[in-house]
Amino acid sequence: MNAQRAELRSQGVPNRASRVALLRALDALLKRHSSEILQAIQSDFESRSIVESWLFDIRPVRRSLADHIRRLKTAAAVEQVLGSRTAARINDSTNVGVGGFVPAWHFPVSQSFLPVIEAIASGNRAVLALPHQTPSTSDSLKRIVGDVFSAEHVVAVTGGENVASAFARLPLDWLQAATQWPQARSASLAAGSQLVPLSLAVPGRGVVVVTRGYSLDLAAQHIMRSKLFNAGQHPSAPDIVYVPRGAVGIFLGYARHAFAAMYPSLLWNPDYGSMVSV
Residues of the chain below pLDDT 70: 1, 82-95, 277-278
Arch. (CATH architecture) of 2-159: 3-Layer(aba) Sandwich (3.40)
Query: 3-class DSSP state for residue 215?
Result: coil
> Nearest CA to 14 among 93, 120, 96?
120
> Nearest CA to 150 among 119, 126, 123, 122?
126
pLDDT computed for residue 84 by the predictor: 54
Query: Rounded to 5 degrees, what are φ and ψ at 80?
Result: -65, -40
pLDDT computed for residue 95 by the predictor: 65
**C-alpha distances in Å from residue 236, one per residue of 22, 56, 233, 272, 278:** 32, 13, 9, 17, 18
pLDDT computed for residue 278 by the predictor: 52
What is the DSSP-derived secondary structure letter of residue 231? G
pLDDT computed for residue 90 by the predictor: 46
Which secondary-structure segment (H or E) carries 185? helix 181-194
CA distance 200 to 202: 6
What pTM does this model have?
Answer: 0.84
> Nearest CA to 15 among 121, 150, 155, 127?
121
Q: With contact defined as beta carbons under 8 Å apart, do 183 and 174 qualify?
A: no
pLDDT digits (tens, 9 = 90+) for 72-104: 998 888 777 766 555 545 455 456 789 999 998
Query: Rounded to 5 degrees, what are φ and ψ at 227?
Result: -70, -35
CA distance 177 to 204: 15
Strand 174-178, strand 198-201: pairing: parallel
Angle at 201 between CA 195 and CA 206, to 5 degrees: 150
pLDDT computed for residue 83 by the predictor: 62
Residues with Cβ within 8 Å of residue 119, at least 6 apart in sequence: 99, 101, 125, 126
The total number of residues shown for the chain amounts to: 278
Angle at 65 between CA 57 and CA 38, to 5 degrees: 25
Domain ranges of the chain: 2-159, 207-262
CA distance 162 to 54: 29
- DSSP string covering 141-162, please? HHHHHHHHS-TTTEEEEE--TT
**C-alpha distances in Å from residue 244, one per residue of 41, 205, 213, 214, 241:** 40, 20, 9, 10, 10
pLDDT digits (tens, 9 = 90+) for 211-232: 999 999 999 999 999 999 888 8
Q: With contact defined as beta carbons under 8 Å apart, do 238 and 220 qualify?
A: no
